[in-house]
Amino acid sequence: MRQTSYFHTVIIGAGAAGMMCAARTGQGGKSVALLDHAVKIGEKIRISGGGRCNFTNRNLNGHDGSPYYVSQQPRFVRYALSRYTAQDFMHLLDKYGIAYHEKHKGQMFCDDSAQAVVEMLQNECRLGSVTWYTGCTVESLTALPIAPAGYEQARFGINTDQGLFYCRNLVIATGGLAVPAVGASPFGYEVAKQFGHHIIPPEAALVPLRFEKWAEQGFDTLSGIALPVRISTGSGKQAVVFDEDLLFRHKGLSGPAVLQISSYWQPGRHIMVNLVPDTDLAEVLCRDKVGKKIQLKTALKQLCPVLPERLIDFWLGREPFQAVAGQKWADIPNALLQQLGQSLNHWTVLPTGSDGHKKAEVTRGGVDVKEINPKTMQSKQCEGLYFIGEVMDVTGWLGGYNFQWAWASAVCAAEALRADEHI
Ligand SMILES: Cc1cc2nc3c(=O)[nH]c(=O)nc-3n(C[C@H](O)[C@H](O)[C@H](O)COP(=O)(O)OP(=O)(O)OC[C@H]3O[C@@H](n4cnc5c(N)ncnc54)[C@H](O)[C@@H]3O)c2cc1C
């Protein structure tokens, strides 16, 4: 005999957004069930930020947060991010005595293990008397045409391997497709489609990029080199630029610069990398060469102290610079020096793809936010249905923006659920 239960709110997905929403809704006196197919909860929080969880960013301080997000409707995030700010989340950490620090560019990390954040959220759920169902598979769910006898408030029915759940409100917090190994699934998109929502095609984002003939061109030999660069894609008003660190890998490029640009990159489009962002190298190489007896390689080392020697050797070992690499700087024709400068200031590469969802940190695209109320996260298609966190078409920059979106969207939904007069 299958067990049947009623909850005011059932939340599917006990990740960052799901736990925050469950805790807040439960603490408002509503009965809440939190379902997850994973047995181990909060895995993405635990592995985030190299195990220290970059839980928010100070730039999300109540002012317009939309510039830090990729979405078909970037303004959608404004209300939620002003309603629940980076400071609000830090106050919660303070309450639990969880120490944290700022790394750079406003990125806030735990001093110790990310596990503390998971435990804090679990404790917040306990304070809200949330009922947990882990290792729980949802078999089907439906909007009920008529409330079943004895469950007059119910609007949804959820069939699971742990029983039948009726609820008045259903919150989808199942995240995106990044890292299936820790529980990611397309479940949220399927539910959204079932209720008539449109999905912006989900793609891997904040992900390393790959390039054709990388090893054939010898770039694999640069593996391990990291340096600060200016990276960009698109042109005119569509241009996106980041000043971040680049990392050469065996199979392509990674590091914060590439992860950031990957969220904007479209297949077929080039990416421009300025390897010496603070110097107009073509101009300086031609201007300052007069009377210089040092070799070109030495000149480059002096002019660009941030360029690792291995990268300089590689660059000068390529055509057409190979022939002049050992010559005196003053003797090298300006045309060649200009070409060298431009090749380092405007290195243009064409990615062939990315490492995909397995290696991505987030998913770009998702449930179209045009069909969601930005103040409550409630579906405009179906009363009582909510979407929170990464399942929506909201993708934050690297640097704590994705967790802050999870917290903020969850808090907005929880406030709407608490205000619901039904039990
Ligand atoms: C390696 C890595 C590092 C990251 N580091 C950072 C960082 O430092 N800072 C930052 O801001 N962001 C970071 N992120 C992104 C961040 O983790 C996510 O944006 C955030 O967790 C999204 O929260 P969410 O609650 O929407 O989804 P999730 O946290 O992904 O939670 C979704 C939950 O739904 C469950 N679920 C999925 N499908 C089903 C189903 N069919 N049935 C039941 N349950 C289901 C999952 O098991 C999971 O528990 C990182 C991501 C990765 C992968």
Q: What pLDDT is stored for residue 237 in this prediction?
A: 86
Token representation of residue 284: 């300086």
Based on the fold, state whether residues 268 and 402 are members of the same structural domain: no
Based on the fold, state whether residues 197 and 217 are members of the same structural domain: no
CATH code of 302's domain = 2.40.30.10
Based on the fold, state whether residues 183 and 215 are members of the same structural domain: no
Q: What is the DSSP string of 141-206?
A: EEE-SSPPTT-TT--EEEEETTEEEEEEEEEE----SS-GGGT--THHHHHHHHTT--EEEEEEES
Q: What is the mean pLDDT of residues 146-170?
A: 97
Atom 38, ligand 1: residue with shortest CA distance:
185
Q: What pLDDT is stored for residue 345 in this prediction?
A: 98
Atom 23, ligand 1: residue with shortest CA distance:
16
| DSSP 8-state class, residue 50 | G
Q: Is residue 140 in a domain? A: yes
Based on the fold, state whether residues 162 and 13 are members of the same structural domain: yes
Q: Bridge partners of 107?
A: 57
Confidence bin at 2 (pLDDT 50/70/90):
confident
Based on the fold, state whether residues 173 and 235 are members of the same structural domain: no
Select from 327, 354, 381 the last residue of a domain. 354
Give the residue, 212 or 353, on which the prediction is more confident. 353
Atom 17, ligand 1: residue with shortest CA distance:
44
Based on the fold, state whether residues 167 and 41 are members of the same structural domain: yes
Based on the fold, state whether residues 339 and 305 are members of the same structural domain: yes
Q: What is the mean pLDDT of residues 147-161?
A: 97
Asked if 26 contacts 8 with a C-beta cutoff of 8 angstroms, the reply is no
> CA 129, CA 149: separation in Å to the nearest integer?
26
Q: Is residue 359 in a domain? A: no
Q: Is residue 360 in a domain? A: no
Asked if 16 contacts 389 with a C-beta cutoff of 8 angstroms, the reply is yes
Q: What is the mean pLDDT of residues 340-365?
A: 97
Query: What digits encode the pLDDT tens for the residues 366-420?
Result: 999 999 999 999 999 999 999 999 999 999 999 999 999 999 999 999 999 999 9
* Distance from the alpha carbon of residue 252 to the mean position of ligand 1, in angstroms: 25
Q: What pLDDT is stored for residue 40 in this prediction?
A: 94
Q: What pLDDT is stored for residue 137 in this prediction?
A: 98
Based on the fold, state whether residues 147 and 263 are members of the same structural domain: no
Q: Is residue 217 in a domain? A: yes
| DSSP 8-state class, residue 319 | T
Query: What digits encode the pLDDT tens for the residues 239-291?
Result: 999 999 999 999 999 999 999 999 999 999 999 999 999 999 999 999 999 99
| DSSP 8-state class, residue 295 | B
Closest ligand 1 atom number to CA of residue 176: 30
Based on the fold, state whether residues 31 and 159 are members of the same structural domain: yes
Query: What digits encode the pLDDT tens for the residues 124-136?
Result: 999 999 999 999 9
Based on the fold, state whether residues 187 and 214 are members of the same structural domain: no
Burial, 337: exposed, middle or buried (Cβ in 10 Å; 0-12, 13-18, 19+)?
Answer: buried
Q: Bridge partners of 135?
A: none
Mutation choice for ligand 1 from 68, 103, 174, CB with most ligand atoms inside 8 A: 174
Q: What pLDDT is stored for residue 1 in this prediction?
A: 64
Confidence bin at 68 (pLDDT 50/70/90):
very high
Percent of the chain past pLDDT 70, that is, above it, reads 100
Based on the fold, state whether residues 175 and 49 are members of the same structural domain: yes
* Distance from the alpha carbon of residue 397 to the mean position of ligand 1, in angstroms: 15
Closest ligand 1 atom number to CA of residue 404: 11
Query: What digits encode the pLDDT tens for the residues 187-232?
Result: 999 999 999 999 999 999 999 999 989 999 999 999 999 999 999 9
Q: Is residue 64 in a domain? A: yes
Query: What digits encode the pLDDT tens for the residues 77-122?
Result: 999 999 999 999 999 999 999 999 999 999 999 999 999 999 999 9
Q: What pLDDT is stored for residue 207 in this prediction?
A: 98
Select from 322, 354, 386 the last residue of a domain. 354
Q: Is residue 215 in a domain? A: yes
Q: Is residue 361 in a domain? A: no
Domain count, the chain: 2
Q: Is residue 304 in a domain? A: yes
Token representation of residue 53: 């969880």
Closest ligand 1 atom number to CA of residue 56: 11
Asked if 133 contacts 123 with a C-beta cutoff of 8 angstroms, the reply is no
Query: What digits encode the pLDDT tens for the residues 11-31?
Result: 999 999 999 999 999 999 999
Which structural domain, as residue segments, surrounds residue 405?
A: 4-202+366-419
CATH code of 183's domain = 3.50.50.60
Is 238's pLDDT higher than 90?
A: no
The tokens 């005011």 sit on which residue?
8
Q: What pLDDT is stored for residue 56 in this prediction?
A: 98
Based on the fold, state whether residues 257 and 346 are members of the same structural domain: yes
Closest by alpha carbon to 12, among 144, 149, 146, 175? 175
